[in-house]
Amino acid sequence: MSGKLKRKGVGPVEDEDLVVESPFVDPDDPMAAFLPKSFGKQAVAKSAIQHDKLKRADISSSAPPPPVTSTSPPRIDSAGPAGVDDSDQDSNDSDDDSDSDDDDEDEFPTSHELVIKDHEKAVTSVSLDPSGMRMVTASHDSNIKLYDFTGMASNHLHSFKTVEPRDGHLVHKAEFSNNGENILVIPSCAQAKVFDRDGYEVVEFVKGDQYLRDMNNTKGHVSEILSGTWHPTDKNLLVTCSSDSTIRIWDVNQKRQQKEVIVVKSRTSKGGRTRVMCVKWDDPTQGGKKLLAAGSQDGSLTLWGGDGGPFSRPMATVEEAHEKETGVCSVAFSKDGNLMVSRSMDGTVKSWDTRKFKKPIMIRNDLPTNSQNTTISFSPDSSSVLTSDSTGSLHILSPATLRSDHTLPITPSIPVIATTWHPRLNQIFTTSNDATVKILYSPKTSTRGAITVLSNALKKRHFDDDPSLTTDIATGMNADAIYLPNAVLPSKTKSLAQASQLAKSYKPFKPHTTPFGKSAPDEEHIKRNVALSGMRDEDPREALLRYADKAKNDPMFTGAWKETQPVTIYSTEQDEEEEEEEVDRTKRLKRF
């Protein structure tokens, strides 16, 4: 390489040529493979982002068409009138369709998807920390899994930690706190737990007394907790709802008793009790009204003042907001707090005005679901509503009309349970009944998250991961055989006698003698130097008889009663044997 220098303050130097000398080796020379091609620390080569492989295929044709609801106008086919064949019109229609698809891709990050399947059963919940670098999922396999996108790769889509909060109990929900430090875990029991972001348990809340009739007097839930969520501003507060007809507000620093108790009284269910299935706080940082909403199995919706109460009396209640005995599985607030949407297991989605909380504004009744963990949520800018159904589709609805702006088949014929749209990543996360978590993203508008995973270097496989270099025990060995891994087996070239001699030569390893081992006392040292150490192996009766003559001739303690002291009679072994024989004789005589 040669060139001309141009220095600061100095004109060009034309006479000086820079020549970089390098060892010349013929490319065919075997030595060329051992010579370095560059110097210095080399950066790890990252895998190229293969978005084309992850682009969603057009599977809408295989999925059944969505039913037409009363709230949406009938769909109009884009084809021309019957019997008319106009190529220009077809081309214009195709251009319009492509333009609409591009607009949807730009508006909604749904053009590509990354599939993670790490659980064994249905995934009921998915949550991310505010930075969007860690994800936690909950499942019916009784486990929660923690993921770190910076440590994952396209060939290593696994969690870095798996935790079983409660043995044998499925997990309803796992949610990051507003600062991303803690995780609220709701197992199917009466005690909620809090873990830190690394998966270590922080606190387990107390269980109440199930024999108390008044739920205001119990210090915790007495039956299964169904849902819960963190306070939007206070990192130490959280709320849980249970099938014991109560809502309890907890402080992480006080696990022995809840901070507030709200007893939900139902007018339609028996005994005035109902299962409170969902609870949600309004976010005041986004302009909300500091409300607390809850949905119950009797179909009712209730609102309280969420900032300190009082919780003794609700602000507003709608008794028959949804169908009875089906349950309201999720509620959500818009950014300004004026609009609330509710999702029920009766297949309906309803929008409510929190200022006039009496009748729903709009109703959508063609979204069936069979999971009590089905969620509904707003997009980050509250311009759309996300929910799913049991047919395996994701619905992005308009908050004003509840019409589907975009319907996306995620897992056809397999129910989709939980959905969330992360504001910082601009990615949509969905969970399904087939134990999969799908990350929908767009290479144009999304940042980090799935893109970070795809841009990370591929993980190197371990030697044992290659099946051609390992032995399958299930197929290569007999199930009835007994295996001795450390045994020396005879080879084909040596006889059994030689093999036995070889086996005798392999002796167990004798540990080295250490200074501590040399100074350790042995049995002889204990007998010589430790007083009365041999008495543990001596018969106590013989030890007493040894001093019988000395006590008789020179009494030390009974000298004052020497004349009146009774004669001591020691039994002998022979007398004891004779007595036993006499007892046996008498027993035999009694039998006859």
* Structure confidence at residue 550 as a pLDDT band (50, 70, 90): confident
Say if 306 falls within a structural domain: yes
Domain tally for the chain?
A: 1
Name the residue with higher pLDDT: 523 or 574.
523
Question: Which residues, listed in sequence order, are joined to residue 305 by a DSSP beta bridge?
Answer: 291
Is residue 412 a contact partner of residue 368, using CB atoms and an 8 Å limit?
no
Name the residue with higher pLDDT: 83 or 278.
278
Say if 346 falls within a structural domain: yes
For tokens 């044992």, name the residue.
464
Name the residue with higher pLDDT: 60 or 522.
522
Burial of 134 per CB tally in 10 Å (0-12, 13-18, 19+): buried
Q: Give residue-wise pLDDT tens across range 460-505.
A: 766 555 555 555 554 455 455 555 555 555 444 445 566 566 555 5
- Identify residue 84 by its one-letter amino acid code: V
Average pLDDT over residues 526-537: 72
What does R_g of the chain's alpha carbons equal in angstroms? 40
User: Any long-range contacts for 536-539 (C-beta under 8 Å, 24+ apart)?
Assistant: none
Say if 565 falls within a structural domain: no
pLDDT at position 79, please? 35
Name the residue with higher pLDDT: 553 or 156.
156
For tokens 């540990």, name the residue.
511
Say if 461 falls within a structural domain: yes
pLDDT at position 225, please? 96
- Identify residue 150 by its one-letter amino acid code: T
CATH number of the domain encompassing residue 409: 2.130.10.10
Statement: residue 7 has pLDDT above 50: no
Is residue 336 a contact partner of residue 312, using CB atoms and an 8 Å limit?
no
pLDDT at position 65, please? 40
pLDDT at position 431, please? 96
Say what the pTM is.
0.67
Task: Tell me how far apart the alpha carbons of residues 556 and 257 are, in angstroms, rounded to a whole number.
Answer: 68
pLDDT at position 522, please? 64
* Structure confidence at residue 553 as a pLDDT band (50, 70, 90): confident
Reported residue count of the chain is 592
pLDDT at position 510, please? 60
Say if 530 falls within a structural domain: no
Task: Tell me how far apart the alpha carbons of residues 483 and 477 are, in angstroms, rounded to a whole number.
Answer: 10
* Structure confidence at residue 107 as a pLDDT band (50, 70, 90): confident
Say if 387 falls within a structural domain: yes
| DSSP structural state of residue 374 | -
- Identify residue 149 by its one-letter amino acid code: F
Give the DSSP H or E segment for 204.
strand 201-204
Other CB atoms within 10 Å distance of the CB of residue 8: 4
Say if 61 falls within a structural domain: no
For 222, the domain range is: 109-465
Average pLDDT over residues 540-557: 80
Q: Give residue-wise pLDDT tens across range 419-456.
A: 999 999 999 999 999 999 999 999 999 999 999 999 98
Q: Give residue-wise pLDDT tens across range 25-74.
A: 676 777 776 666 665 555 544 544 578 888 887 544 334 444 333 333 33
Write down the mean pLDDT value for the chain. 79
Statement: residue 104 has pLDDT above 80: no
pLDDT at position 57, please? 78
Q: Which of 55-59, 60-64, 153-157, 162-166 has the highest mean pLDDT?
A: 162-166
Say if 493 falls within a structural domain: no
User: HSE of 443 in the Cβ direction (CA atoms, 13 Å)?
Assistant: 11
